[in-house]
């Protein structure tokens, strides 16, 4: 009997910390936005342009960064990515106006684009096939930890060192991570970087990929909205001060972290009885059924009820994104995992950019209520597209939807 491969806790833990730093660095601005926007005289519409600058570079680098990871490998590629965005995060401490802030955000997105393709591929490469949903959930679950820690940590640093000090310290944390990663983590046990990675033209011909891309185009704007705009919602429409926002904003993201980690483990358990693809499809359906609760977040009268609705939405998103990214590995060639995840991130980023430019003027003219209303219907729509992707891959590979994981033999 073959000995079961030990779970790579330290390496996956480092991937967890990388995605945590990614969200910490990108969310410092959203937490401090009410103060910084007032300081520089920036409107919600102008703020949407600053957010757009991050999304533009992040989107472009999601695709190119994934391509880079597949060729350079996870260790080197993630070192370059995190080093660049940490320097960019620290550079926010020196901006003097809205234009310089937008430039700093653009540089941050340029560095962060490769993070999730690297984390997803790293989870696949360093772990055994039967642990990959769990490893993926942990690796990307760091993003939620970063979102949980960012509000109280940012408020504490801003009170003690000013908002510029908060940005500087967040950048220094990334440099420390790079040092630990370089010294203690070995290269991935597979070496498929340059010899088997495909061109994007070939990848786009893969059965089911276009449906997966369309699904991400539909659901990603909701997460961008929750990540960048909720502090503004709590400040503008609920009249909460910065410290109170910091005390509340972490709660929905804690639910995200919990669901990302434990839904991955549950999926691995279900996969043993019903097959990997069918298990992930079931989990995606459960997540999509929960998300209409977002309708209520913009309308309920009490702050605790609004936070509760947002927490349920992000709990569902954690289930969704963990199983969506794991399903990508099941349906499409594992040796191109980072490139494919990068493509989905690029498409989601494009949708996020479009939605950001719509949200700013909508909020200035109306309120946040229409945005919450729309966010409650997109995941059920995305589920339809994922189902079509599974059926396309099923027809192409002549495999039953409840069968063994597609491409499982390529990744072991």
- What is the mean pLDDT, run by run of 10 residues, along the chain of 412 residues? 73 94 87 85 84 86 84 92 96 92 95 90 86 84 79 87 93 96 84 53 79 94 84 78 77 85 84 86 94 83 87 93 87 78 86 84 82 89 94 67 38 32
Cα–Cα distance for residue pair 320/285, rounded to 1 Å = 8
Angle, CA of 68, 171 and 313, to the nearest 5°: 75
The per-residue pLDDT for 3 is 59
Q: Cβ contacts of residue 390 below 8 Å, gap of 6+?
A: 208, 277, 281, 327, 331, 401
Question: pLDDT tens-digit profile of 276-325?
Answer: 889 999 999 999 999 998 888 877 778 888 889 999 999 999 999 989 98
DSSP conformational letter for 5: P
Cα–Cα distance for residue pair 128/140, rounded to 1 Å = 17
Angle, CA of 354, 357 and 361, to the nearest 5°: 145
Angle, CA of 163, 25 and 44, to the nearest 5°: 65
The per-residue pLDDT for 211 is 92
Question: pLDDT tens-digit profile of 50-106?
Answer: 988 988 898 888 878 888 888 889 999 999 999 999 999 999 999 998 899 999 999
Per the prediction, the chain carries an average pLDDT of 84
The per-residue pLDDT for 407 is 40
Cα–Cα distance for residue pair 28/13, rounded to 1 Å = 22
Cα–Cα distance for residue pair 131/95, rounded to 1 Å = 44
Q: CA–CA distance from 231 to each of 28, 30, 108, 161, 362 (Å)?
A: 11, 7, 20, 21, 16
Q: CA–CA distance from 109 to each of 51, 198, 209, 216, 406 (Å)?
A: 10, 25, 24, 19, 33
The per-residue pLDDT for 4 is 60
Q: Indicate the burial class of 4 (C-beta count within 10 angstroms; 0-12, 13-18, 19 or more).
A: exposed
Is residue 331 a contact partner of residue 277, using CB atoms and an 8 Å limit?
A: yes
The per-residue pLDDT for 44 is 74
The per-residue pLDDT for 402 is 37
Q: CA–CA distance from 319 to each of 60, 71, 133, 153, 253 (Å)?
A: 26, 30, 11, 26, 13
Cα–Cα distance for residue pair 269/37, rounded to 1 Å = 47
The per-residue pLDDT for 192 is 43
The per-residue pLDDT for 136 is 84
């Amino acid at each position: 009997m073959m000995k079961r491969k030990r779970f790579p806790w330290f390496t996956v833990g480092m991937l967890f910390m990388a995605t945590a730093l990614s969200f910490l660095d990108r969310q410092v601005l959203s937490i401090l936005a009410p103060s910084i926007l007032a300081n520089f005289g920036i409107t919600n519409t102008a703020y949407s342009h600053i957010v757009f600058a991050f999304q533009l570079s992040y989107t472009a680098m999601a695709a190119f960064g994934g391509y880079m990871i597949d060729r350079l490998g996870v260790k080197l590629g993630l070192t370059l990515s995190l080093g660049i965005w940490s320097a960019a995060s620290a550079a926010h401490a020196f901006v003097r106006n809205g234009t310089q802030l937008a430039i700093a955000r653009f540089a941050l997105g340029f560095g962060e684009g490769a993070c999730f393709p690297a984390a997803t591929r790293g989870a696949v490469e360093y772990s055994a096939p039967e642990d990959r949903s769990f490893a993926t959930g942990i690796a990307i679950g760091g993003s939620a930890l970063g979102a949980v820690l960012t509000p109280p940590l940012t408020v504490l640093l801003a009170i003690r060192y000013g908002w510029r000090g908060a940005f500087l310290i967040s950048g220094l944390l990334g440099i420390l991570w790079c040092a630990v990663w370089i010294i203690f983590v070995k290269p991935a046990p597979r070496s498929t970087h340059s010899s088997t990675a495909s061109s994007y033209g070939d990848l786009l011909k893969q059965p089911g990929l276009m449906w997966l891309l369309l699904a991400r185009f539909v659901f990603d704007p909701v997460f961008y909205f929750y990540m960048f705009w909720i502090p503004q919602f709590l400040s503008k429409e609920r009249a909460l001060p910065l410290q109170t926002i910091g005390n509340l904003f972490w709660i929905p993201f804690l639910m995200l972290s919990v669901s990302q980690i434990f839904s991955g483990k549950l999926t691995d358990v279900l996969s043993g009885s019903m097959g990997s693809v069918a298990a992930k499809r079931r989990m995606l359906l459960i997540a999509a059924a929960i998300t209409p609760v977002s309708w209520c977040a913009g309308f309920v009268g009490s702050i605790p009820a609004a936070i509760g609705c947002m927490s349920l939405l992000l709990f569902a998103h954690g289930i969704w994104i963990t199983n969506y990214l794991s399903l990508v590995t099941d349906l499409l060639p594992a040796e191109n995992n980072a490139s494919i995840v990068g493509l989905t991130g690029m498409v989601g980023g494009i949708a996020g950019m479009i939605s950001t430019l719509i949200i700013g003027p909508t909020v200035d003219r109306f309120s946040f209520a229409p945005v919450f209303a729309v966010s409650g219907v997109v995941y059920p729509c995305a589920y339809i597209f994922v189902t079509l992707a599974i059926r396309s891959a099923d027809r192409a590979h002549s495999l039953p939807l409840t069968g063994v994981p597609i491409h499982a033999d390529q990744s072991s």
